[in-house]
Chain A
Amino acid sequence: MARVFAVAWLLHLKMLSRSAFDGVLGVLWPLFFATIAFLMYGAGGDDEALLYAAVGASVMGIWSSVSTSASSAVQRERWAGTLELLVIAPVRLPVVLLPITTAMATIGLYSMVATLLWGRFLFGIDVPVEHPVLFCLSVLATVVSIGMVGFLMAVTVVRYRTAWALGSAFEEPVWLICGFLLPIALLPGWVEPISWLLAPTWGVRAIRESALGGTPFPDLVLCLVVGLGYAAVGMFFAERILTAARRNASLALS
């Protein structure tokens, strides 16, 4: 199973890297929003807030590369005519889908590096990494847990023919609700409990705490726990949807 995961992850990582949409735009798109955030915080003149936003902005790309693409992950296999092959393979479908969405989240690392370099060289934002090891672990945990969110999205919207539009609509709300660019405390009070249920909230907190100096460990653990929760729910749905598709002979339909 580990070999299937590793091979599928690497294969999809290579394919996504060569895609103009997932590769090039995956870096550019969050960079547009990060640039505006840098300009806005720069105009406000609050260096601390600018640093806060810079760390969060670097994580935006990880979510962006998953939100739109993961929603249509199953649909893409269907269009390519490979969905039936994946379903009849002796490996369970979630084991095939999870590395795909994890590869999508991994692609977001390009964007993370690009945003940090963009902020450093164009805006002079020097993000200190106070706890380098925990920072790397936090990034890894965020990638994995966002990949699991993507897996859940891929499975649950499988009957939605234009799922990319739904995934795309989730992009900015998650940036907002999960506190990528501003403290959640500034949002209406009812938003905060929602943010607790979203793995990126804990991921971006862990990365921020480890970069700026703090205690990232609880956030890191919560990020993984919430991510695993998404994976468990996704596996449950995947099995049920697959059984229904086989029973109704509707695997190729949507």
Chain B
Amino acid sequence: MSSARIFFIGGLTSYRALFNWLSPWILVPTFVVGPITQILLFAYIGRAAGIGSDEFFVIGNALQYAAIPCLFAMGNTIADERRQMTLGIILATPAPRVPLFLGRALPVIVNGFVVSLFALVVGGLIFSIDVPPEAMLPIVAVTAVCAFSCTGLGLVGAALSLRVRETAVLSNVIFGVLLIFCGVNVPLDDLPGWMASVAAYLPLTHGIAAARELADGAAVSAIVDDVALEVAVGTVYVGIGMVMLWYFEWESRRRATLEMA
């Protein structure tokens, strides 16, 4: 019961307290304007370069934009504890670490999911994307899976932020890597071989591919493998993130460096 309370109530409280981007003054430019301008930018570059279709860029960029809340919110919900001098207090509590940290991830997943969904709908309307009605619900599900896997990577970033002072720079760099490698704007076949190989181990790659297949009329059964891989990648990152958080906490206690970065 205590773990459930820490997971749900503690997670939501931490998210609301530490992720200051929920202010409309940041939320609107970042989560409303940002994804749409990214879609417009790359869709028009695509037209100029003569590659891809509007649908390709809308789906790729809308799903990839989940990375903004997933990376930054995860980073903030843990690194900001230190900035506000509450990290030591949190870690001194006997609260089990798994619900403590994973609880913070749940609202972030919802945030990433909503941002991506908004970008999909608005981007789709702007470019008059024609998606089969039966594909819509599965695409929504794939969007949620992408938000989950991206939050897994966000958890790794959050763990690193216990050691890296410039969390905003770190999150931006990870965002840029995802933008280039995951087949968001350049089909994986057109990327250099080593980049396409790396992409297979990053979140979003398989989810974006699945969503594009669905939009092109593929049956749900045809994308099960991609979705399963996306879930697997996300789960692995969650695991790595939890291990890193445990290790950095342990090392910080041993070396008395919790408040340093």
Q: Give A contacts to B, CB under 8 Å.
A: 20-21, 24-25, 28-29, 31-33, 35-37, 39-46, 49, 53, 160-162, 165-166, 168-169, 172-173, 175-176, 181-183, 186-187
Besides A162-B26, A172-B37, 9 other A-B contacts (C-beta < 8 A): A32-B176, A36-B180, A36-B185, A41-B48, A46-B50, A53-B45, A161-B25, A165-B30, A187-B44
Q: Shortest Cβ distance from A4 into chain B, in angstroms? A: 31
- Count how many chain B residues have C-beta atoms less than 8 Å from C-beta atoms of the other chain: 38
B46 within 8 A of A: yes
Whole-angstrom CA separation of A162 from B25 in the bound complex: 7
When distances are taken between beta carbons in the complex, the residues of chain B under 8 Å from A41 are 45, 48-49
* Cβ proximity bits B155-184 to A, threshold 8 Å, 1 near / 0 not: 000000000011011001100110110001
Number of residue pairs A-B, CB distance < 8 angstroms: 107
Of A39, A181, A187, which is within 8 A of B186 by CB? A39
A25 touches B49 (CB 8 A): no
Is the beta-carbon distance between B41 and A168 smaller than 8 angstroms? no
Pairwise interchain contact B30-A176, C-beta atoms closer than 8 A: no
Bound Cα distance A172, B45 (Å)? 12
Given known A-B contacts A37-B45, A176-B40, A176-B41, A169 and B30 have beta carbons under 8 A apart: yes
Q: What's the dominant secondary structure at chain B's contact region?
A: helix
**B47 — which chain A residues lie within 8 A by C-beta?**
182, 186
Complex alpha-carbon distance, A165 and B51, angstroms: 31
CA distance A21 to B168 in the complex (A): 8
Give the complex CA separation of A42 and B189 in angstroms.
Answer: 13
- B85-117 CB mask vs A (1 if < 8 Å, else 0) is 000000000000000000000000000000000
Residue of A25, A36, A162, A181 touching B179 (CB-CB under 8 A): A36
Chain A residues with CB under 8 A of B45: 36-37, 40-41, 53, 181-182
Asked whether A175 and B50 contact (CB < 8 A) given A29-B172, A160-B25, the answer is no
